[in-house]
Chains A and B, each alone.
Chain A
Amino acid sequence: GENVEQHPSTLSVQEGDSAVIKCTYSDSASNYFPWYKQELGKRPQLIIDIRSNVGEKKDQRIAVTLNKTAKHFSLHITETQPEDSAVYFCAATSRGAGSEKLVFGKGMKLTVNP
């Protein structure tokens, strides 16, 4: 079945630095790649997503890149701030027995030190 690998599992940066989270997927038919942020004690929330017909997407300080050939996608956060501290999950669609489903990576805990 579909597998989404995410690394690193933890990352600590200084405020103002950049952070990069990388994910790989196994299903070549995957066509939708969302990123979720989960703050401590809260629900995961979508921060950015990208579709397979686009190579890069930006939204203020965050950007996502997709390399379909290599089957990997990355989240880039620039000028990190303490409020960026959270667990970040990548996901990819995968076709199951019936229809597409979202498969998540195991998450990466980002700590931004003031």
Chain B
Amino acid sequence: KAGVTQTPRYLIKTRGQQVTLSCSPISGHRSVSWYQQTPGQGLQFLFEYFSETQRNKGNFPGRFSGRQFSNSRSEMNVSTLELGDSALYLCASSRDARTEAFFGQGTRLTVV
């Protein structure tokens, strides 16, 4: 059974640019959640998609957006990048919030 796959693994972008990250969940999982991980801040919830609908959203500015496709693959977009957006972005897939969430390897974003 294939795990959660995130692409790309690493990204370097310049301030002001935008970026799109991709997450392919485990087959059969319709819930995909995105987290930002920075040292000392743990895993901060960005948003969750279920069957192509955003069900929950964290406390991040509108520059952070996402979507989910009919095959459950999800993308996250960050526009007008800031230096503080540098982080590891993790996605996790699950059947629902009360079952095990499986994480991808993450995308390491560096904004210079």
A interface residue numbers (CB < 8 A to B): 1, 6, 9, 31-32, 34, 36, 42-46, 49, 51, 89, 93, 96-107
Q: Is the CB of B45 within 8 A of A107?
A: no
Q: Is the CB of A93 within 8 A of B97?
A: yes
* Bound-state Cα–Cα, A81 to B105, Å: 25
Q: Is the CB of B98 within 8 A of A46?
A: no
Total chain B interface residues with beta-carbon distance under 8 A: 27
Sorted nearest first, the 4 A-B pairs with minimum C-beta distance are A106-B42, A100-B97, A98-B55, A96-B56
Q: Is the CB of A102 within 8 A of B97?
A: yes
B97 in complex: contacting residue of A51, A101, A104, A106, CB < 8 Å? A101
Residues of B within 8 A of A43 (CB): 90, 103-106
The minimal Cβ–Cβ distance linking B105 to chain A, given in whole angstroms, is 5
Q: Is there a chain A Cβ closer than 8 Å to B75's Cβ?
A: no
